[in-house]
């Protein structure tokens, strides 16, 4: 019997290998020649089909031929699909294109693989807080390996939108407020997804989004108007997009917002002048979901008009709207678009398919063996656990309350203490949420028999049931408790009374941030604040484990608590990673990449602001008439950009520069000695900031210019050096020329953006 089973298995594997073989000799001609010959064979309708990206829904295995989208694929009216998951289903659909369409052009298959596939990493804002580019790249590499093993060859990631307004829910999907850090992360993500060879079956096409300025909507309300100067665009918001383009990203997604009065999807200055002419981008541009159709709501034309506008602006692929497929033939006949514009768009789509190796082997991403061996593996989950632990930011730790000892009785209290489905965070569409590890399980397994863990929910997410439903969409329920607020609180206090220490698991649900999840109030929901206050009144030590997808207003919590650990939404291994840090098996080393305000009224708030003519730091909370301050709040944030504590302490000394002057052809080195002066091994993010003291236009008070994450043993000292050239001192001036200007530059190195110690140089011609 075993012999028969083995023989059948070998025959099955042999069949799979045979099934995936294609005649590769047909594509030995050069890429450009192959694509031009293919375009020459295409009808107008087939060309427009290549520009069409519908969503199919999740086609059931065995039903691909009878699905609604199958007819269009057979007729050559589909260039790609998204939202199908699994190699077997995707193989069926690809087979329709290869075997039943006239020209047998393979399809692209896309998915929002944002921060992992089935193995899910921290939300992007959390990933950025690691300040560890190697780990960030590795997370994208693992995501690409898993997604490609399941049939996906294109991800709508990375999202690199700079955002300085935490009311905007999609701040959770980006890398924070800083253009330099955002640029480094953009490059790392693109490299992780695409590798060095897109034809490998473990790499996938990346798509940088949302081009452009999507993270700066008025009032922090998603999809809202964006209005800013071009100097701000080029200096503060464009750099991460350009960095992704420079890194070779294969595709770009247009944003929903308008720019200079024209929606990005139809903005020729943005898509052609900036992206193609200035930055030399040679991939293709896809709209966001129904982006073409939505331009009519902006008030710039009917469906046919805006579809033609998008094509002429430089859009190559239409996601879901169907505007290209259904209106461009008429516009072509009426002379409103040209066949050259259509052909150019088709050419760029076909280029991407060639680069992915789909013309050589359209089934290269449909390996049913890899599908079983490369996804949600023990090794991938171990890396996700390590990366999650490095993303956590220790906001407060008075009297070294943390790390906790693995003894006694520990009470976990709070609506997020025992909930698996919220742990992966927003935009975790491929995740098997039920397999994520909640805090309770993680702590119980790590502690074993060494300590006792008890749990009470304590409160619902919010008192408002309708609000909680909006905040737990997509099936990510917190299982709202029907008991009264008083009953839940009494149970929590009873549990707390049995404990030596209380871990309060509070904050946002995963869908309180993300797309279409803007908030006007940024405090922890009031019912949770009441729970926390009651726990503090017990007199027991309380540690706040904060779940959030954005900066929150935590003035009361900072004042009243001894320890706050911000864990964002850590991914599938959440509970283990949190326990690792709480008990000191991992020392927290995350640093904030977005400023935490003291009040919503301070927003937008960011470290690299400019001085006014009447500046006042107002760190003492004093009001001075006729200076730039509030009458009811201090100027500075609660936690600055770059902030984050450790279980150990670090000392900075001997800040120096290699030369007091620098010419345009020189390089200088800025260095500092960093010592671990505490009782634990730890990692520190050493941050370099500069200030251009006098410029032809006003310049920020500080700008991040470099960072290094170093590991130091107890008592160890290292010299950390940064080498700078004139390129690092350039900015876009009033003519939008990228220049460095002679004059004095100040350099600061420290543990966060609030560093004051500095050295100066003079840049001379």
Map residue 683 onto helix, strand or coil: strand
The candidate with the shortest Cα–Cα distance to 598, out of 634, 569, 573, is: 634
Q: What is the DSSP letter of 67?
A: S
Q: Which residues, listed in sequence order, are joined to residue 718 by a DSSP beta bridge?
A: 674
Q: Which helix (H) or strand (E) holds 243?
A: helix 239-246
Q: What are phi and psi of 9, to 5 degrees?
A: -65, -45
Terminal Cα distance for the chain, rounded: 84
Q: Are 126 and 391 a contacting pair, CB within 8 Å?
A: yes
The DSSP secondary structure of 628-679, one letter per residue, reads S--SSS-SS-SB-TT--B-SS-EEEEEEEES-SEEETT-EEEEEEEEEE-SS
Q: What is the DSSP letter of 53?
A: E
Report the alpha-carbon distance of residue 674 to residue 688 in Å, rounded: 13
Q: Which helix (H) or strand (E) holds 155?
A: strand 154-155
Report the alpha-carbon distance of residue 616 to residue 32 in Å, rounded: 60
The candidate with the shortest Cα–Cα distance to 498, out of 411, 404, 573, is: 411
Q: Are 510 and 120 a contacting pair, CB within 8 Å?
A: no
Map residue 548 onto helix, strand or coil: coil
* Cβ neighbours around 73 below 10 Å, total: 27
Joined together, the tokens standing for residue 278 give: 């200035």
* Cβ neighbours around 736 below 10 Å, total: 13
Residue with token string 């190796």: 357
CA 41 vs. chain centroid, Å, equals 41
The candidate with the shortest Cα–Cα distance to 247, out of 182, 183, 170, 338, is: 183
Q: Are 388 and 480 a contacting pair, CB within 8 Å?
A: no
Catalytic residues: 288
641 Cβ partners below 8 Å, 6+ apart? 176, 177, 178, 592, 593, 594, 595, 606, 607, 608, 752, 753
């Amino acid at each position: 019997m075993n012999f028969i089973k083995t023989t059948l298995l070998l025959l099955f594997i042999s069949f799979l290998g045979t099934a995936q073989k294609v005649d590769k000799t047909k594509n030995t001609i050069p890429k450009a020649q192959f694509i031009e010959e293919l375009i020459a064979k295409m009808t107008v309708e087939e060309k427009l089909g290549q520009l069409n990206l519908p969503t199919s829904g999740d086609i059931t295995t065995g039903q691909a031929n009878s699905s609604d989208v199958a007819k269009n694929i057979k007729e050559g009216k589909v260039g790609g699909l998204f939202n199908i998951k699994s190699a077997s289903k995707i193989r069926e659909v690809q087979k329709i294109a290869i075997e039943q369409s006239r020209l047998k052009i393979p399809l692209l298959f896309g998915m929002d693989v944002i921060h992992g596939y089935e193995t899910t990493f921290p939300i992007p804002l959390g990933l950025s807080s690691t300040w560890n580019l190697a780990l960030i790249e590795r997370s994208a590499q693992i995501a690409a390996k898993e997604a490609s093993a399941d049939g996906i060859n294109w991800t709508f990631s990375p999202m690199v939108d700079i955002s300085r307004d935490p009311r905007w829910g999609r701040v959770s999907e980006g890398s924070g407020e800083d253009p330099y850090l955002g640029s480094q992360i953009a490059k790392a993500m693109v490299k992780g997804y695409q590798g060095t060879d897109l034809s490998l079956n473990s790499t996938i096409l990346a798509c940088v989004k949302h081009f452009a300025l999507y993270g700066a909507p008025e009032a922090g309300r998603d999809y809202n108007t964006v209005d800013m100067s071009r100097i701000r665009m080029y200096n503060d918001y464009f750099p991460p997009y350009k960095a992704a383009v420079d890194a070779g990203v294969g595709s770009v997604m247009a944003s929903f917002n308008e720019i200079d009065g024209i929606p990005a999807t139809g903005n020729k200055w943005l898509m052609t002048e900036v992206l193609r002419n200035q930055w030399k981008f040679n991939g293709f541009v896809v709209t966001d979901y129904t982006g073409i159709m939505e331009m009519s709501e902006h008030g710039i034309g009917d469906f046919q008009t805006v579809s033609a506008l998008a094509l002429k602006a430089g859009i190559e692929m239409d996601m879901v709207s169907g505007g290209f497929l259904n209106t461009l033939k008429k516009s072509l006949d009426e002379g409103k678009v040209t066949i050259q514009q259509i052909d150019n768009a088709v050419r760029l789509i076909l280029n991407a398919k060639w680069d992915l190796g789909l013309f050589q082997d359209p089934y290269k991403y449909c390996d049913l063996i890899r599908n079983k061996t490369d996804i949600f593996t023990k090794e991938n989950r171990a890396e996700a656990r390590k990366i999650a632990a490095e993303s956590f930011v220790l906001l407060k730790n008075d009297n070294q309350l943390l790390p906790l000892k693995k003894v006694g009785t520990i009470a976990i209290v709070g609506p997020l203490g025992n909930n698996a489905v919220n742990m992966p965070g927003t935009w975790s569409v491929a995740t098997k949420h039920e397999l994520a590890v909640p805090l309770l399980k993680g702590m119980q397994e790590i502690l074993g028999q060494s300590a006792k863990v008890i749990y009470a929910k304590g409160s619902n997410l919010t008192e408002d049931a309708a609000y909680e439903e909006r905040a737990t969409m997509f099936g990510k329920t917190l299982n709202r408790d029907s008991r009264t607020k008083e009953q839940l609180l009494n149970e929590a206090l009873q549990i707390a009374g049995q404990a030596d220490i209380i871990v309060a698991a509070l904050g946002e649900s995963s869908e309180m941030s993300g797309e279409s999840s803007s908030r006007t109030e940024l405090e922890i929901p009031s019912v949770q604040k009441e729970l926390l206050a009651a726990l503090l009144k017990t007199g027991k030590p309380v540690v706040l484990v904060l779940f959030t997808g954005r900066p929150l207003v935590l003035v009361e919590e900072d004042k009243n608590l001894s320890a706050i650990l911000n864990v964002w939404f850590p991914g599938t291994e959440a509970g283990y990673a949190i326990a690792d840090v709480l008990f000191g098996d991992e020392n927290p080393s995350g640093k904030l990449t977005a400023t935490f305000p003291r009040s919503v009224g301070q927003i937008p708030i960011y470290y690299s602001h400019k001085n006014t003519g009447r500046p006042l730091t107002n760190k003492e909370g004093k009001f001075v008439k006729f200076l730039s301050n509030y009458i009811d709040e201090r100027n500075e944030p609660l936690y600055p950009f770059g902030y984050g504590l450790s279980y150990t302490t670090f000392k900075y000394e001997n800040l120096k520069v290699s030369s007091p002057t620098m010419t345009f052809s020189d390089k200088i080195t800025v260095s500092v000695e960093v010592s671990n002066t505490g009782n634990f091994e730890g990692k520190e993010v050493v941050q370099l900031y500069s200030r251009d003291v006098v410029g032809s236009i006003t310049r920020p008070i500080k700008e991040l210019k470099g960072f290094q994450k170093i590991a130091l043993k107890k008592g160890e000292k290292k010299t950390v050096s940064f080498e700078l050239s004139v390129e690092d001192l350039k900015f876009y001036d009033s003519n939008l020329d990228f220049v460095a200007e002679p004059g004095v530059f100040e350099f600061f190195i420290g543990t966060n953006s609030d560093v004051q110690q500095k050295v100066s140089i003079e840049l001379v011609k």
